[in-house]
Chain A
Amino acid sequence: MGTIDISYISLLVGMLLLLIPIFYIWYYETKLLKAICIGAVRMVVQMLFIGVYLRYLFEWDNPVINSVWVFIMVYIASETALTRTRVKRSVLMMPLVIGFVVAGVLIGLYFLGIVLKLDNVFSAQYFIPIMGILLGNMLTVNVIAVGTFYSTLQREQNLYYFLLGNGASRSEALKPFVRQAIVKSFSPTIANMAVMGLVSLPGTMIGQILGGSSPHVAIKYQIMIVVITMSASMLSLMIAIQLSSKRAFDGYGRMKQVMKG
């Protein structure tokens, strides 16, 4: 069973649906209008380019080139997270890069090497899409969680200083803030996981079924995708928070100015 192609005209017709969110974003003066328009254009252009890039990456199938490509993806994801969280570059950039690389490589290779048992874990057909899915999810979680962590900490400094001033170590005093960050960023994922198959039919599974895989195989991939994205997201978040908080506080545990502006 082949997949039905979408012509460029049909794609344009389909994209008209974007007018619904654009209308409400404009009507309620959310100041997101420019962002959604730029985002939509960027998505189309980037996806057209990726079609070309992927063809060559798959043809060459060179582990070094694939790894370099993934590192470029990590860099772009880190830049995006940095912009969205509004935390200073000197505090967050390296922790994000390290978190994405360590969590992506560890979890990605665990899946490809141990679960899928691939002979060549750097094979472009598997390595690049899996790292792409992991990075996309790690980016979303880190933007929400790291942003929540530092903005709540800034707003509720009294609580942090109360705990620190009563003898807590820095990591003990940060615990309520890390907890809030985890709850906020993981609640949607956990809720979604609980109704998967009943309410939501996730993208990876649908893509595989449309591509001709049997539902039986697609389901197993989907389960693993949920597991690896959640694990990588949590690992990268913990690394980013641990490493960035070393730069965000002075020797007395006092918070430095970490937010931009």
Chain B
Amino acid sequence: MLEVNDISIQFGGEQVLQNFSCRVEKGGLACVVGRSGCGKTSLLKALIGLTPYCGGTIRIAGTELNESSCAFVRKITAYLPQELVFPNEDIMDIVLQTLRIGGVKNVRLSMPLLHQNIQRLGLEPELLDKRMAEISGGQRQRVMIAVLSMLDKQVWLLDEPTAALDEKSRDLVIRFLIEEQRCGKTIVAVSHDPVFASRCSTIIRLD
């Protein structure tokens, strides 16, 4: 489903990855681990062309990533960056906007499923009536994971999905991701969390 062959990435003038290769099978749950600054986030972003890389190739669902194919690759990929800062708008506006750009045709029909997913992540659907600044970082992260699950994308790329969460919330997120994986999603997540890494089917080590 996801193949990285012999790529190198520079970040801030420093070589963070050199001649790097990895592979994640369809339906896999992979955790990218390594010390801070080793290029985990850069690798995740490179998979959808958000970070430049040189040499080698990246293939997602059989499509080689390049300038002309990146729009298609992003259509089949869900991406959640770390520390996402939203304007202080109504959460529902941001949810609707994300669903729209993610290609969800009938947003109104999707609401019951969204509420159900939010509850699976230990949150109350009433949270959607608040503004972004009124909820915590951990709640925001779980709301966005629930929203991404609505996009029906084959590949999920998540940057530190369990950061800023207490143990109980973290376990709910891990369970949620494993259930999505069992439904056929291919998930690649950057994480410093050893508990999360221990539940993944593949470990991509960057050290």
Q: Is the beta-carbon distance between B81 and A167 smaller than 8 angstroms? A: no
B161 within 8 A of A: no
Contact with B along A160-174 (1 / 0, CB 8 A): 011111111100110
Q: How far is the CA of A36 from the CA of B198 in the complex (A)?
A: 62
B1 within 8 A of A: no
Give chain A's interface secondary structure class. Answer: helix
Contacts of A165 in B (CB 8 A): 45, 48, 50, 74, 77, 79, 81, 157
CB-CB contacts below 8 Å: B68-83 with A: 70-71, 74-75, 77-83
CB-CB contacts below 8 Å: B52-71 with A: 52, 67, 70-71
Contacts of A159 in B (CB 8 A): 84-87
- Assess A180 versus B74: contact at CB under 8 Å? Given A165-B157, A166-B151: no
B109 within 8 A of A: no
Q: How far is the CA of A251 from the CA of B66 in the complex (A)?
A: 9
Give chain B's interface secondary structure class. Answer: loop
How far in angstroms is the closest Cβ of chain A from B103? 6
A125 within 8 A of B: no
Chain B contact patch, size range: 20 to 34
Contacts of A169 in B (CB 8 A): 71
Q: How far is the CA of A156 from the CA of B82 in the complex (A)?
A: 12
Contacts of B45 in A (CB 8 A): 161, 165
How far in angstroms is the closest Cβ of chain B from A96? 26
Q: Is the beta-carbon distance between B102 and A166 smaller than 8 angstroms? A: yes
7 closest cross-chain pairs (CB), A and B: A165-B79, A251-B67, A168-B101, A252-B49, A167-B75, A158-B81, A167-B74
Q: Which A residues are closer than 8 A to B by beta carbons? A: 156, 158-159, 161-169, 172-173, 175-176, 180, 251-254
21 contacts between A and B (CB under 8 A): A156-B85, A158-B81, A158-B82, A158-B84, A162-B80, A163-B97, A163-B98, A164-B50, A165-B45, A165-B48, A165-B50, A165-B74, A165-B81, A166-B74, A166-B101, A166-B102, A167-B101, A167-B151, A172-B101, A176-B87, A253-B50
Q: Which B residues are closer than 8 A to A by beta carbons? A: 45, 48-52, 67, 70-71, 74-75, 77-87, 97-98, 101-103, 148, 151, 153, 157
